[in-house]
Amino acid sequence: MELETLSRRIGQWVQTNREEAVELAQCLVRIESVNHPPHGNERAFQHMVAEWLRSEGAEVEVYDIRSVPGLEAHPGYMQGRDYADRPNVVGRFRGEGGGRSLMFSSHADTVHEGRKPWRFPPFSGVIENDKLYGRGAYDMKGGLAASLMAIRCLRDLGVKLKGDVIAESVVDEEYGGSNGALAARLHGPDADMAIIPEPSNLKLYPAHLGGGAWKAAFTGKNGIVFNGEQIVNALDAAVDFVRLLREFGDHLRNRYPAPELWRSSKEAEVATLKIVTGDPNREVTEMSDTGEVRFWIEGYPGMTGDGIIGELWSFYESRLDAFPILRSCRPVITPMIRYLEASALPDDERSRTFLEVAASAGERSLGKPCGEPMGAPFTCDAFMFNLYSSTPALVLGPTGGNAHAPDEYLDIDSYLSLIAWYAELTAEWCGICAMADREVKA
């Protein structure tokens, strides 16, 4: 069957099933699956996804990631998490044979709803002005729902695929986790290509930034000078370290110019997250003897966390004349989370073909070119695919806003477009061996 004919039927199906598609996204948002390191409450969400997959005829497995051989010994594993009642879920729809396989890999967990006020309850799934509000709506339950609805679309249309389609939902992606994605790579199954439905705003992201968070702890000597005592103000040291970090960001940008994929995207940056200092119960005139700076540094493929901190220390030593207090009050720098490595699709024929298929499917479903591929301006668990498995991963997800902030929302029109895009991409990549001549269900 011609792709244009299938595209028309997919578009009709999406419009006919709009209400059901929106209800699925709302349902996922309403199930709290917040990550509370070292714990998380993804269990109910995961079982709901498993039941949905079973209802569609998938071969479903719900498994404890602690049972995956070699997980904790793997170099990509991050210690310190508790995975009791936090299973991974995978569903497989077997094709007729002879085609390429495709996996959709989403994370079940969300960040905490936070302490700042929301316009709507964060787990309500309220819709206003074609926006679906709620924690995780944009990051990334909207993308997960779109992948599930795309699978249902093709099944409702009677499309028989040559290759397998796999949908998985993994735990613990937020807060530097990604052990759920690593467990899934070790457990299998593999696929010829994967899509990570992180919010890409309907852009093709064949690569993504890396990033990590660290804290620099300063210990000074407080008091009041009456007799020539040497006082070291840890807060002054912390403030100067923030200034040094700003200079270090410029240094990294000059030393590591943005690769081509990021020249039209957000470049890697160095950011101060927070300054913590002092005891609020101290006397008004008593200076602090401790200070802490929490900071975030991003990098491109090939850069490592250890390498970045090594460069920071070298830069630190070179700037001590400009920041003399940092000579007498040196920080202890420790990681707050693991460094999440940057990664990219391999530069090979398979990846190039997949990007061509994704772009052509996007143009048919969106009615316009989807734009040139670019580097994602964020970190995600795609590196577990690109660096630690035989399955490369492309990031492609919906439009929305306020990820990790109050009033997070999913743009519903983009969500519906993504369902169509996923369905068309799946059909073209996996190959069609038959399609029923049936009307779209009303």
Q: Which residues of 64-73 are buried (b: 16+ CB within 10 A; e: fewer)?
A: ebeebeebee
Give the integer Cα–Cα distance in Å for 123 and 111.
12
H-run or E-run covering 400? strand 400-401
Residue 178: half-sphere exposure toward Cβ, Cα within 13 Å: 24
Task: Report cis status (omega within 30 of 0) of the bond before 301.
Answer: no
- Which residue is catalytic, options 42, 173, 236, 289? 173
- Which residue is catalytic, options 42, 109, 174, 424? 109
Q: Is 229 a catalytic residue?
A: no
Q: Is 173 a catalytic residue?
A: yes
Strand partners, 104: 167, 195
Give the integer Cα–Cα distance in Å for 397 and 146.
9
Nearest to 151 by CA among 442, 436, 438, 424: 424
Query: CA angle, 131 as apex, 129 and 133 as ends, to 5°?
Result: 125
165-170: strand order across its sheet: 59-63, 88-93, 165-170, 102-107, 193-196, 393-395
Which residues are annotated as catalytic? 109, 173
